[in-house]
Structure 1
Amino acid sequence: MALWDRIKESASTMQTQLDAKKNELKSGGFRDASMAMCALVAAADGSVDASERQRVSALLASNDVLRNFPAADLQRLFDENCQKLAADFEVGKVSVMQTIGKVAKKPTEARAVVQIGIVIGGADGDFDKTEQGVVREVCFALGIPPEEFDL
């Protein structure tokens, strides 16, 4: 039970930090990278199932930071990234990581993208090792120490 509580607390903390930076997170690059991150976390185990799609849809509907963008645009970007990953995970992952990498020179956006990945990963109460691994990879790609997020 302690692990479940830690996951919930971590996701809640990440969401609070994101909300505090809402006005700084309005660029198209952040939007694209966020949806790429959501798809990468959702597909971390090799496929995106219906429950993972529902988690992302719920996040799009409820996340104040992501409300900076039209929900239909976010859903389209998420679906496009999922399709890339489903067609060929390794090739799709390269494309998705390139999209995420576009925020590397913007520390606030880069950290927010990592936080969104953690929020998505922890949304079901089980931020598993595979999901943690892809978020850790994103940290390295963005030049952020994974330890900053307890990864």
Structure 2
Amino acid sequence: MALWDRIKESATQMQSQLEAKKNDLKSGAFRDASMAMCALVAAADGSVDPSERQRVAQLIATNDTLRNFPADDLRRRFEENLDKLTADFAFGRVSVLQEVAKAKKKPVEARAVIQIGIVIGGADGDFDRDEQAVVREACFALGLPPHEFDL
């Protein structure tokens, strides 16, 4: 199977798993951690161009799992995290990873945050090394083994 197909299949599988858990994913910690994860993936290479910002914002708005929360609130939180990362990537990354870590207390939420990162990263068909690296880093922040997600 081609790498492209494996990435698409993995992202589709992760999205299906998220939808199955949708009713368990309603806490503020999950919301905050998910938006931090989306920002980390969007800025994984150290910068965010406007088209990438828009693409990730659109993915957030259309993700069934995240429909438990008001779209405007999600977008605002996503943008706040992105602003931290674009102002100073190294310092912002520490702050954004602290947001991700909010989901650590509930394993279902922690895994869902990682799955959202993989879905967002793989949505364009190219879950690149930088994106994999920030999702792997988020695994450590959440106390999850990266190999569980093939990272």
TM-score under structure 2 length normalisation: 0.97
Task: Tell me how far 1:60 sits from its aligned partner.
Answer: 2.1
Residue 41 of structure 2 corresponds to 41
Residues 40 and 96 in structure 2, CA contact (< 8 A), matched pair in contact too = yes
The CA deviation at 1:136 is 0.5
Q: After the TM superposition, which residues 35-74 of structure 1 pair with which residues of structure 2 at under 5 Å, given as runs?
A: 35-74=35-74
Deviations along 1:29-68, whole A, 9 cap, x unmatched? 1001000000001001011112322222222222111000
What is the rounded CA distance, in whole Å, between the counterparts of 1:141 and 1:31 in structure 2?
A: 16
Give the alignment of 1:132-151 within 5 angstroms: 132-151=132-151
Whether 1:6 aligns to 2:27 is: no
CA-to-partner distance for each residue in 1:76-129, whole Å, 9 max, x for gaps? 000000000000011101110111111111100000000000011001110000
C-alpha contact (below 8 Å) 1:55/1:123 kept by paired residues: no
Shift of 1:135: 0.4
SS at match of 1:132: helix
The answer to whether the 8 Å contact 1:43/1:85 transfers is: yes
Q: Which residue in the other structure is 2:23 paired with?
A: 23
Q: SS of the counterpart of 2:103?
A: coil
Q: C-alpha separation between the residues in 1 aligned to 2:114 and 2:142?
A: 9
Provide the rounded CA distance (Å) in 2 between the counterparts of 1:122 and 1:55: 12
Runs of 4+ that moved beyond 6 A: none
**In the alignment, is the contact (CA less than 8 A) between 1:55 and 1:120 conserved in 2?**
no
Is residue 2:110 matched to residue 1:110?
yes
Would the aligned equivalents of 1:46 and 1:89 in 2 still touch at CA under 8 Å?
yes
3-state SS, counterpart of residue 127 of structure 1: coil
Contact 2:42 2:53 in 1 (8 A): yes
Taking only aligned residues, the RMSD between alpha carbons, in angstroms, comes to: 1.0
Q: Distance in 1 between matches of 2:62 and 2:80?
A: 21
Gaps of 5+ in 2: none
Q: So what's the TM-score if we normalise by structure 1?
A: 0.97
Number of aligned residues? 151
Unaligned runs of 5+ in 1: none
